[in-house]
């Protein structure tokens, strides 16, 4: 399995996710909705369409393929995950969080609209994710849908991404009652929550959709944990070594903000060694699937070497 294969499959999932989100985020109100206000729809569509690698939906689609899950179902779960991801980017870019002007090579949502509209667009994307997961189109079994809802809620919320985000802000010294993370272990925990939890969910979603046994679910969880950490280290290295035009957002911000990063603790050379070890760990976690998981193994390598 080559990296060209991986890139063409990623591009296919990105195109399918774009088309699906475009349909799901149409103007017509659904049963139970009164209206879809135009300004809010415009901000939601701005934040979620026309950009992004769609790496998280790719993880859902490819992990689901290991269990023969119909692709339209996997794409629905992937679209739900992407909605949570896009909401997190909109809120993360706000002046009270990371205060960024550029995202995906374009003005951030609050710059293109205004803070209040961006906050509400993020809120809508978050709740819409669970609307998508709860539809029979995502899976005919209500039991599977509830498992997906619970897993995504936990990955996104206080013990997952949002919890990681407050620890991250605390690491900048913003809150007197929230001590800065000390040492590698605490920084790893923060990042496993902030960035890792959604990536781990993406990998586990395929096993949930496929009603897989616990051993296979745990194998994908282990893979997702390694990929999540590799993703964050690569992101931190891009912040130091990348250029803003290629990365599509401002670089050099982590050190300036005093962020807690693995690269900050280990240094650049050791972090690059760590990346290689995480790619190996990701591959070995998938051994139970044999060659059928080769694409996911290449994906782990891509994450570690990514330039955007």
Interface with ligand GRG (CB under 6 A): 52-53, 55, 85, 88-89, 91-92, 97, 104, 161-162, 165, 194-195, 232, 235
- Residue 55 vs 128, nearer CB to ligand GRG: 55
- Residue 97 vs 266, nearer CB to ligand GRG: 97
Shortest distance, position 78 Cβ to ligand GRG, whole Å = 12
- Residue 89 vs 275, nearer CB to ligand GRG: 89
Shortest distance, position 181 Cβ to ligand GRG, whole Å = 16
Q: Where are the beta strands (DSSP E) in the chain?
A: 102-103, 106-107
Shortest distance, position 232 Cβ to ligand GRG, whole Å = 6
- Residue 1 vs 257, nearer CB to ligand GRG: 257
User: 11, 24, 32, 63: which is closest to 201 by C-alpha?
Assistant: 63
Residue nearest ligand GRG, Cβ-based: 52
Shortest distance, position 148 Cβ to ligand GRG, whole Å = 20
Shortest distance, position 215 Cβ to ligand GRG, whole Å = 29
What is each CA distance from 232 to 8, 12, 97, 170, 229, in whole angstroms? 23, 24, 18, 18, 5
What is each CA distance from 214 to 9, 144, 152, 198, 210, in whole angstroms? 27, 14, 18, 19, 11
- Residue 6 vs 55, nearer CB to ligand GRG: 55
Q: How far apart are CA 164 and CA 197, in angstroms?
A: 9
Cα end-to-end span (Å), the chain: 22
């Amino acid at each position: 399995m080559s990296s060209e294969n991986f890139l063409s499959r990623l591009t296919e999932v990105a195109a399918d996710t774009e088309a699906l989100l475009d349909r799901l985020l149409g103007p017509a109100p659904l049963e139970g909705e009164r209206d879809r206000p135009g300004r809010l729809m415009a901000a939601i569509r701005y934040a979620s369409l026309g950009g992004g690698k769609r790496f998280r939906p790719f993880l859902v689609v490819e992990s689901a393929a290991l269990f023969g899950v119909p692709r339209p179902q996997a794409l629905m779960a992937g679209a739900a995950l992407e909605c949570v991801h896009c909401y997190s980017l909109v809120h993360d870019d706000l002046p009270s969080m990371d205060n960024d002007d550029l995202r995906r090579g374009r003005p951030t949502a609050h710059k293109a609209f205004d803070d209040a509209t961006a906050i509400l667009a993020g809120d809508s994307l978050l709740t819409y994710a669970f609307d998508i997961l709860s539809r029979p189109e995502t899976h005919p079994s209500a039991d599977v849908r509830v498992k997906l809802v619970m897993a995504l809620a936990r990955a996104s919320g206080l013990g997952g991404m949002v919890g990681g985000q407050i620890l991250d802000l605390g690491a900048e010294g913003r809150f007197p009652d929230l001590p800065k993370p000390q040492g590698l272990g605490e920084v790893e925990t923060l990042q496993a929550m902030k960035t890792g939890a959604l990536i781990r969910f993406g990998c586990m979603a395929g096993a949930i959709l496929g009603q897989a046994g616990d051993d296979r679910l745990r194998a994908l969880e282990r893979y997702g944990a390694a990929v999540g950490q590799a993703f964050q280290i690569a992101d931190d290295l891009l912040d130091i070594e990348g250029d803003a035009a290629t990365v599509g957002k401002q670089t050099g911000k982590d050190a300036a903000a005093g962020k807690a990063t693995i690269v900050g603790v280990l240094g650049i050379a050791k972090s690059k060694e760590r990346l290689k070890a995480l790619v190996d760990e990701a591959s070995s976690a998938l051994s139970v699937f044999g060659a059928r998981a080769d694409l996911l193994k290449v994906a782990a390598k891509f994450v570690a070497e990514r330039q955007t």
